[in-house]
Amino acid sequence: MKKTNTFLALLIIAFLCNAQDKPLYRYIFVENHKMGIMDQHGKVIVPARYNSIGNYSENLAAINFNDKWGFVDTNGSIVIKHQFDGTSGFVDGMAMIWSVEFPSDSDWEIYKYGFVDKNGKVVREPQFGEASDFSEGLAAVNVGDYDSPRWGYIDRSGKMVIEPRFDAAWKFSEGLAPVKIGDKEGYIDHNGLFVIEPRFDGAGLFSDGLASVRMGERNNGKYGYIDKNGEIVIAFQYDDVRPFENGVAAVKTGKSYYAGWEYIDKNGNKVTRVGEQYAAMQDFSEGLAAVKRAGKWGYIDSTGNLVIDIKYKDAGKFSEGLAVIKVDYKCGFIDRNGNVVIEPQFDVAWGFWGGLAWVRIGERAMYIDKTGKVIREWKED
C-alpha cells in the first residue's frame, strides 16, 4: 500500500486470519504515534513501533519501517524484510510491490509494479506501468504505458503466459476475465482465448454465474447481464447495476439521485416490493440490507420486506449480529430485530469483527466488545 500519514485509514480494520482453521483475529492500535497489533483480548502481539500497518491477508500484514515496507506474520515476526517502496496485501499467494521514482524533469512520480511471494521471493521486479492483484493464479500487467497500453497476464512464477495484446485487462473471476480491444470489451479464459467476443462497451466481473455488461457510454448507456456463454439473460434496461451476490443484485432505473434502486433475482424478477424504490441500497449481509429513502435508512430482508423501520440518519452492514446506526449524529449498534444493544454515543463507529468494534469519541479512539466495554483505548491527535 502507498505511504499515508493518516492513522485513521489503517486503524479501523480488524483482521481475520486462519491458523489451522482456528479463527485468529488481529487489530491495529496506536501508541505514541506508532502502530502495533493486538489480539481480541487486548494482548499486544506487535509492539507499537511501525509508521503504518496494512491489513492482514493470508496471515501476513504489511508494515512500514523507515519508509520501507515488509511483512510480519500473526505472531509479529518479520518474515519479509523492509525493502519495498510500497506493497498491497497478499492475494492468491502473491503481493503486489512497487517502486517510486521522482524524475528531475517531471512533477509526477513514476510507479513501477512487480510481485513477491509469501517466501519473500520477488518473482517480478517492479517493471510494469500498471498491474492487478493475482486471481485464479494469474495477474494482469501492462507492459506499455498509460497512453499506449499493452496488457497481458503473468503466472505465479512471473512468466508471461498470455501475451500482451489488450488495451485493458482485469482480473479473472469464475474462470473468465474481461479484456478490451479497441473500444469493445469481451471475455477470455485462462489460455487467453476469447470465450465471449468483444462486443460490449463495458464488461464487469462474473459472480453467481452472471456478469453485468453495458451498451453505450458510461453515463448514458444501459446495463444488462450475460451468462458465461455470452447469452443475454437480463436485457439492457438499467442505468446502474451491481454484481450478483447470493442470487440477488441491486439495479437502478432512472437518473434520480433520490430514487431508482431495487433488487432483482437472476431471472430479472424484482425482489423488492412492487413500487418500492430507494435512493441507495447496500449489499445484503447476514440476510439483511440497508436501504435509504427520503434521507433516512432502514433494513429489508431477502424477500424485500421492510423489517427495520426507515428512521436512521445512517446505517451499516450487519456483522456478527450487530449493525452500526446513526441517530442525531451519534453512532450506536442494533441487533437484527432493530433493538438498540449499545446506545448511540460515538462520533464514529465500525462494525464488529471477532467480537470487537473500533469506535471514537472526540480524540478517544478505542475497541469495545458487544457489551460496550472498552478493551483498549488511545488518544488521537
Closest CA to 236 of 191, 272, 273, 203: 203
* Distance in angstroms between the alpha carbons of the first and the last residue of the chain: 23
Q: Which three cell numbers stand for residue 277?
A: 424504490
Whether the Cβ atoms of residue 170 and residue 178 lie closer than 8 Å to each other: yes
pLDDT at 1: 35
Residue 10: φ, ψ to 5°: -110, -5
The reported pLDDT for the residue numbered 9 is 38
Residue 91, classed as helix, strand or coil, is strand
pLDDT tens, position by position, 32-87: 889 999 999 999 999 999 999 988 899 999 999 999 999 999 999 999 999 999 99
Q: Coil, helix or strand for 360?
A: strand
Q: What is the mean pLDDT of residues 273-295?
A: 86
Ramachandran quadrant class, 303 (left: phi over 0; alpha: psi -120 to 50; beta: rest): alpha
The pLDDT, as a whole number, for residue 84 is 97
The number of residues in the chain equals: 381
150: DSSP letter? -
Pair 250, 262: CB distance under 8 Å: yes
Residue 275, pLDDT score: 61
Q: What pLDDT does 97 receive?
A: 98
* pLDDT, position 319: 96
Average pLDDT over every residue of 323-345: 97
Q: What is the mean pLDDT of the chain?
A: 91
What pLDDT shows up at residue 64? 94
Residue 106 is predicted with a pLDDT of 80
Report the C-alpha gap between 41 and 156 in whole angstroms. Answer: 37
For residue 4, pLDDT over 50 is answered with no
Those residues whose C-beta lies under 8 Å from the C-beta of residue 104, and which sit 6 or more positions away, are: none
Query: What does the alpha-carbon distance between residue 223 and residue 237 come to, in Å, rounded to a whole number?
Result: 6
Distance CA 120, CA 186 (A): 35
| Average confidence (pLDDT) over 302-311 | 91
- Check residue 145 and give its pLDDT: 86
Quick one: pLDDT at residue 105?
82
Question: Residue 71: how many CA atoms within 13 Å on its side-chain side?
Answer: 26
59 closest CA partner among 13, 24, 84, 11 = 24
Angstrom distances, CA of residue 30 to CA of 8, 12, 38, 65, 224:
10, 11, 10, 15, 46
* % of the chain at pLDDT higher than 70: 92
Residue scoring higher pLDDT (12 or 374): 374
Q: Residue 322: pLDDT above 60?
A: yes
Question: What mean pLDDT comes out for the span 118-139?
Answer: 97
Q: Which of 319, 353, 311, 352 is nearest to 336 (CA)?
A: 319
- Is residue 257 exposed (0-12), middle (13-18) or buried (19+ Cβ within 10 Å)? exposed
Residue 10 burial (CB count, 10 A): 19
